[in-house]
Amino acid sequence: MGRKTMDHYLNSEQLFLFSLVTEKGSFSKAAKHANVHVSTITRQIDHLEEFVGGKLFIRSTHYLGLTESGQYLYEQSKGILKGMLNTVKEIQYIEESKSGVIRLSCLPTFGKLIIVPTLCKENKKINITLNLTEKLVDPIVERLDLAIRIGEQPDSNLYSKKIGVQTWAICASPKLLSQYSQEQISLFNELPLIDKCSEYNSICWNGLEKSNYASARCDDFHAQLMLAVDGLGFCCLPNWVLASAITDGSLIKVKDDPFGRNDPIYALRPFKKANMKVLLFMENITSSLSAVSTII
């Protein structure tokens, strides 16, 4: 007996079929109820008897009853099967619940300007854990429910859903615009720009900074937005960064993105089937990004 438990474990299917046979009173009735062949049940009961090391049923042509060991196993199996059923129900409740924890990774500015406002206005029952980072973290390794990424994604073992589109626009504060004529602005030459630069190229202006000059440089979109609102220079930023400032009049759209950038925004998840709270939250983010697209 001890030797068998090293390479074999009590099979829940065998235990269920054993209880079903006991309650139905025959192998054939149990097979019909479970929609399986009688031979399948016979084989599983044989394996179970081999595992426990004793006979569970007294079988004859006209009689089927439990042995002493079978009666004991049946009484014990009631609690085991009930516990398993309750566990399955709890898992189903978790999967179907609209509340609970969502673990999400995204760019810091995206989290502040899109995720947090979406969370605050849509669902107070969601407890979100935000990983705000510029790094492309692996949702599987980090045990995340979602990772928000912008731009086309390489093939991977993650499941993606497009939730929005990132476009760009050039904006400035009313105060700054009052200092330049329409002609100067239309020529877009020798103007102060707020830039986000890497060592090798300009992420925001894509070369336009060469005919102008940088009044400030910053590696954070949100900080760039605040500098632009304060009137330090023209900014070229994604639509989801600019939307709130344009809505309240802090910034005015000067022109569309000269380069016509149009990047998909994806929600990546580790599992093909998302649970209910993740599905609803993705819908809420999609709705927020859709509202942004109507503003700018």
Q: Is the pLDDT of residue 6 over 50?
A: no
Q: Is the pLDDT of residue 234 over 50?
A: yes
**Is the pLDDT higher at 94 or at 282?**
282
Residues spanned by CATH 3.40.190.290 within the chain?
A: 97-296
pLDDT at position 122:
58
Q: What is the mean pLDDT of residues 61-75?
A: 92
Q: What would the pLDDT profile of 173-209 be if each residue is shown by its tens digit?
A: 999 999 999 999 999 999 999 988 665 456 788 888 8
**pTM of this prediction?**
0.74
pLDDT at position 1:
43
pLDDT at position 92:
81
Lowest mean pLDDT among 29-33, 107-111, 174-178, 271-275: 271-275
pLDDT at position 5:
46
Q: What would the pLDDT profile of 93-106 be if each residue is shown by its tens digit?
A: 877 888 888 999 99
pLDDT at position 3:
44
- Residue whose pair of structure tokens reads 């925004």 in the numeric block: 265
CATH of 4-95, one of 1.10.10.10, 3.40.50.880, 3.60.20.10, 3.40.1190.10: 1.10.10.10
Report helix angle 27-34 to 38-52, nearest 10: 110
pLDDT at position 289:
96
Residues spanned by CATH 1.10.10.10 within the chain?
A: 4-95
Average pLDDT value for the chain? 89
Q: What is the mean pLDDT of residues 112-121?
A: 86
Q: Is the pLDDT of residue 121 over 80?
A: no
May I ask the CATH class of domain 97-296? alpha beta
